[in-house]
Chain A
Amino acid sequence: MPVDTSYAGREYPPNDVYEVSRVKLAEFAAAVGATHAAHTDVQAAQALGHPDVIAPPTFAVVVAQRAEAQLLEDEAAGIDFSRVVHADERFTHHRPIRAGDRLVTVLHVDSIVERAGLAMITTRAEIGTEAGERVATVVSTLAVRPEES
């Protein structure tokens, strides 16, 4: 089944709250080799002016992918994950994600275009607090190969 291009322009309702914990930030920082003390040591983070430990720059992917699943796991969208390659990724931080944040994400399907036989799907996850403060924007493009015929 080909990718359904009519999904372009779709906006999903805010997803469930993601509560950021110190333990999760430390686990993620260790996995990517982010050794800065502001990821694990509250006093080091506060010395830099942050209220609590802060996330490494790419941690927002953990939050964004929960919203992206609304599209990727929708069978009607026709996105077969065995044929997907991650093409590009961009994080814009309006402020650092920090422990204690309660984040909600609104997923936008910005575009679905055919290029050289590939379906290029660009999504934008707008991450903010429950109270409405903007925190991060995550733009991701996936390339979906056509089915073998």
Chain B
Amino acid sequence: MAVTFAELAVGQEVARAEVVVDRARLVRYAGASGDFNPIHWNDRVATAVGLPGVIAHGMWTMGAAAGPVTEWAGDPGAIVDYQVRFTRPVPVPDPGSTTVEVVAVVGALDEAAGTARVDLTVAVEGARVLGKAQAVVRLS
């Protein structure tokens, strides 16, 4: 079900989700993406470079945050532009897990282009981990 331009307003919340990440998830992402940097699976290496421990791939966080927007848009192909800044690492404990909170709000509407800019707040325990997280979604 595609979203239409007329039903949207700037400031409107369009998606909200919590995504849980644990070490097994990071191993799965490493394999799927080909990013085998050991700071994403090896505590010894992570602490040696000054991190609190293993952290999630920034690109995993970016990818996971896109899911709720894609579901809302109704078509993953409607995401025509997607950008983020990586502002804070996401530590992933073992044992245990980390919960990433995603809130998506309409930031701007471009009627001529038929697109909406969706601004994402992506946070762990209330602290933002991505900055300038914006997806441009083509509307029907």
Contacts and interface: CB of A to CB of B under 8 A. Distances in A.
A57 B66 contact: yes
Interface residues of B, number: 35
Interface in B28-49: 28-29, 31-35, 37, 49
Contact of B64 (A33, A36, A39, A92): A33
A79 B132 CA distance: 26
A32 B121 CA distance: 17
Interface stretch (A8-16, A58-66, A103-111, A113-121): A58-66
Contact of B71 (A36, A82, A87): A36
Interface string B62-103: 111011001100111101111111100000000000000000
A56 B77 contact: no
Interface string B99-121: 00000000000000000000000
Interface string A38-58: 110000000010100011111
Contacts, number: 110
Interface residues of A, number: 36
Interface of A: 24, 27-28, 30-36, 38-39, 48, 50, 54-58, 61-62, 65, 81-82, 85-93, 95-96, 139
Interface of B: 19, 25, 28-29, 31-35, 37, 49, 58-60, 62-64, 66-67, 70-71, 74-77, 79-86, 132, 135
Given A31-B31, A85-B86, 14 more contacts: A27-B31, A31-B32, A48-B74, A56-B66, A56-B67, A56-B76, A57-B63, A57-B66, A58-B63, A61-B59, A65-B35, A81-B37, A86-B58, A90-B83
- What 10 A-B pairs are tightest by C-beta distance, nearest first? A32-B63, A90-B83, A31-B32, A96-B77, A58-B63, A31-B29, A88-B85, A57-B79, A28-B32, A86-B58
